[in-house]
A and B are shown apart, each in its own frame.
Chain A
Amino acid sequence: MAADESGGLSLRGVTAGYGRSTVLHGIDIEVRPGQKVAILGPNGAGKTTVLRAVSGLVGVRSGTITLGGAALTGRRPDEIVKRGVAHVPQGRRVFPDFTVEENLRAAAYSRGGRDVDDDVARVLDAFPRLRDRFGVRAGFLSGGEQQMLAIGRAVVQRPRIVLIDEMSLGLAPILIKELYGRFDRLFADVPAVIVEQNPSVALEHCSYVYVLSNGEVKASGPASEFTSHERLMQAYAGAAD
């Protein structure tokens, strides 16, 4: 409850899906203020759907989602963004015809596109490569640069919570390490939900872990409990049932 009142994210018994199929079966997830939480699990487990349910892209059939105690469920995605949820989607989804600069400016839509200069400066300081590519259309960026830009958009959004989906997908290990480092610093005090298929990276940067499979939470606990390989394998194995 304390998490709710001071700005945490809380999912209680969330059931959601696409069309007639139900993907999430009563999910409970708790993110306390300032906490970094990982959602791990095999492909098709429903990790992306959890994030989409939070940001309103997928309708929640039952259960509630609250941010700082206020309900997000039933609100439109743009209202949820306004309430402080930044969702960095799987596959980055940068605007390919916009330049790096235009992508960053578009992220300030909710506040009328104003006061972006300081945020843009912060993004460019964190990702100097984006400075070199500032006037380049995002469709021409490398995968790593696109991920930097997608994170940069979340910075411009000035969120109360960040959801990031498969940050490491398709990137070289050294780049993954760099991106996570930057992410930690850019969102030092902001709670985050980090979805990963790559458990070792996520475990290093999160304090709490949920293991998801077939739309259910199969295990959860402090990240330290999952650092032993066996424990994680057990959870995944349980997940596979």
Chain B
Amino acid sequence: MRQPRVGSPGVAVSTLLQAIVNGLMTGSVYALLALSIALIFKTMDTVNFATASMGAFCAFLFFQVGTVLGLGWGAGLAVAAAGAVVLGWAVERGIVRPLGSGDLFRLVLATMGLDIVLNNATQIFFGSGVQNINAPLPSGGLNVGGVNVDLARLVILGVAVAGAVVLALVLRYTNLGVGMRAYAQDPQAATLMGVPARTVSRWTWIISSLLGLIAAIMVASVSVLSVGFLQGTFISAFTAAVLGGLSSLPGAVAGGFVLGVLEALSIAYAPRAVTIALPVLIILVVLMIRPAGLFGRLSATRA
């Protein structure tokens, strides 16, 4: 491996590569949380603006059980996952179902309200301190051709990819997954095939909640845990989902990685203001040029 000299083309190339590698790693988190958003939009026709606070609440459970109570991260993960399932179930049963599906605006308002409630609940239960969750991730990094690959972030990328693959397998090969995909295309036709609307709704929220939990723990393990800590990531993930067409799951994943890389490139090459405004800029550009996103189609209207 030759050491690039300052000012040589090697430096420029490795800066670019470094930005791309960093971007892919951050992007994997966006991708996972974007999947959580897109899954709900695809099946339920609404955006869950409580995505971040639901995931964050469960990440606090993870910290509370694993670290504060000292039961270890395995127990923490089990309790947090159970919490995510219960929370997803409760939100569907208590808010989504009573409000009825098909009314995007009502549900959006309801999830915004839920977001406020959950953030306050998090603060009341777990305090407003800033915590370090000490996730069992490797430290240090690899140097690959002048590009530094952080091991912790590499594991996170692996977990995100694994999460996306598991979701794809569930949707493709389980009966419930087939029913969910059928329902997303035509709720009434799916009902006539015997797919129960409430089962689809319930599992969509539970799975989405679990994806949110994984993303929340991933973010917390490379930064810190505090009330509202996932909000910024949510905005990026929402942007990624819009970029991918909002109702396309492969689109959400691609959108996550694209946004991660664009963000890293803007950090490396553009003024800070551009990086901050990037999600908004991207949403504007997508809405103006290609409202269906990179992967979405402007689908036929439902009867």
Contacts and interface: CB of A to CB of B under 8 A. Distances in A.
Interface of A: 55, 57, 76-78, 81-82, 86-87, 89, 91, 93-98, 102, 105-107, 109-110, 112-113, 153, 157
B228 interface: no
B195 interface: yes
B170 to A, nearest CB: 13
B290 interface: no
B128 interface: no
Contacts of A76: 196
B179 interface: yes
B103 interface: no
B188 A57 contact: yes
A95 B193 CA distance: 11
A206 to B, nearest CB: 22
Given A78-B195, A106-B182, A110-B194, A93 B175 contact: no
A146 to B, nearest CB: 12
Contact of A93 (B178, B179, B188, B196): B188
Nearest to B189: A93
Interface string B166-208: 0000000001001101100110111111111100000000000
B186 A109 contact: no
Contact of A95 (B175, B189, B194, B303): B189
A102 B178 contact: yes
Nearest to B192: A87
Nearest to B191: A77
B300 interface: yes
Interface string B289-303: 000000000001001
A86 B191 CA distance: 11
B55 to A, nearest CB: 28
Given A78-B196, A113-B175, A98 B182 contact: yes
B192 A109 contact: no
Contacts of B193: 81, 106-107, 109-110, 153, 157
Nearest to A156: B193
Contacts of B179: 106, 109
B195 A112 contact: no
A70 B102 CA distance: 32
Contacts of A57: 188, 191-192
Given A81-B194, A106-B193, A110-B194, A89 B178 contact: no
B49 to A, nearest CB: 27
Shortest 4 CB-CB contacts between residues of A and residues of B: A110-B194, A81-B194, A93-B189, A113-B175
A229 to B, nearest CB: 34
Contacts of A96: 185-186, 300
Interface in B245-303: 300, 303
27 contacts: A55-B192, A57-B191, A77-B191, A78-B196, A81-B192, A82-B194, A89-B188, A89-B189, A91-B303, A93-B188, A93-B189, A95-B185, A95-B189, A96-B186, A97-B181, A102-B178, A106-B182, A106-B190, A107-B193, A107-B194, A109-B182, A109-B190, A109-B193, A110-B193, A110-B194, A112-B175, A153-B193
Contacts of B186: 93, 95-96
Contacts of A105: 178
A157 B185 CA distance: 19
B192 A89 contact: yes
A105 B193 CA distance: 10
Contacts of B192: 55, 57, 77, 81, 86-87, 89, 93
A93 B187 CA distance: 10
B175 A109 contact: yes
Nearest to B303: A91
Contact of B194 (A78, A89, A97): A78
A87 B189 CA distance: 9
Nearest to A88: B192
A106 B179 CA distance: 7
A190 B190 CA distance: 22
Nearest to A107: B193
Interface centre among A55, A82, A96 (most CB of B within 10 A): A96
A102 B175 CA distance: 11
A102 B303 CA distance: 21
A102 B173 CA distance: 11
Contacts of B303: 91, 93
A37 B221 CA distance: 65
Given A89-B189, A153-B193, 20 more contacts: A57-B192, A78-B197, A87-B192, A91-B303, A93-B186, A95-B186, A95-B190, A96-B186, A96-B300, A98-B181, A98-B185, A102-B178, A105-B178, A106-B190, A106-B193, A109-B179, A109-B194, A109-B195, A110-B194, A157-B193
Nearest to A139: B300
Contacts of B300: 96
Contacts of A78: 191, 194-197
